[in-house]
Copies of this chain bind each other. A is one copy, B any other.
Amino acid sequence: MRRLCVHTITTKPLSLEECLVEFPRRGISGITIWRQALEGRDLEAVARQTREAGMDVVSLCRGGFFPSASTAGRQAAIDDNLKAIEQAHAVGAPLIVLVCGAVPGQPLAESRKQITEGIAALLPAAEQAGVKLAIEPLHPMYADDRSAVNTMRQAHEICDALGSPKSIGIAVDVYHVWWDPELKAQIDHAGQTGRLHAFHICDWKTPTTDLLNDRGLMGEGCINIREISDWVDATGFTGHREVEIFSNRWWSVDQSQFLDQIAASYSQLYS
């Protein structure tokens, strides 16, 4: 369990304070904080509370959404990401996960150019704050309005274009990349280049009834999670395995029971 992390969005009905009680009670050692969970809170108090709860803050979710049809829109995105870097620094999160963004109808190549420029604008502040950034390739079904970065290969290409600074890497989420025939090779390459910054798990249900909020708990679907996880570990990755599940179904049940099932499912997966 020492590598198990849960995202606050996974148990969306719980407040951050409730997460900090319920997670460690089950031996969950890491927490990834979504920015909405910070709303109205004193960030130094959050940092202290997570420390007192014995939790590692694994990352802050999420930055990104760089592309825009207007210069002003792109600058607003950069400003918001700079704020996220401050927040990450304040709560002690060493990493920000980037959902890079896309604009429906704007050519994907243009969006990727804007994403690269957006990240470049953040790097000095990120390095100064000691906060790393991770490009999360999103499933191609989100290429319309969530991310023009849909494969690990594309994420690597952006890292290359940025000159491969140590602060920029990749977040591998099995939900987004499990189908990719290049997956093992790209994970290996991420290991070799020091870019493997985060690893997210959940499952793909058959049928999936909602493009956003019908993810499965590990074991409920068809993803070869353990195999992908072993590829990740084989690169030398020793970070947390982060459970990130968006699910109207799971959000509607008692979250205490859901957390019990997450812990049980995780234990079975890694037994």
Contacts and interface: CB of A to CB of B under 8 A. Distances in A.
Contact of A181 (B145, B154, B224): B154
A221 interface: yes
A206 B104 contact: yes
Contacts of A180: 140
B179 A143 contact: yes
A150 B207 CA distance: 17
Contact of A140 (B154, B179, B224): B179
A192 B185 CA distance: 28
Interface residues of A, number: 28
Interface in A145-164: 145, 150-151, 153-154
B222 A211 contact: no
A197 interface: no
Given A207-B211, A208-B211, A221 B144 contact: yes
A221 B104 contact: yes
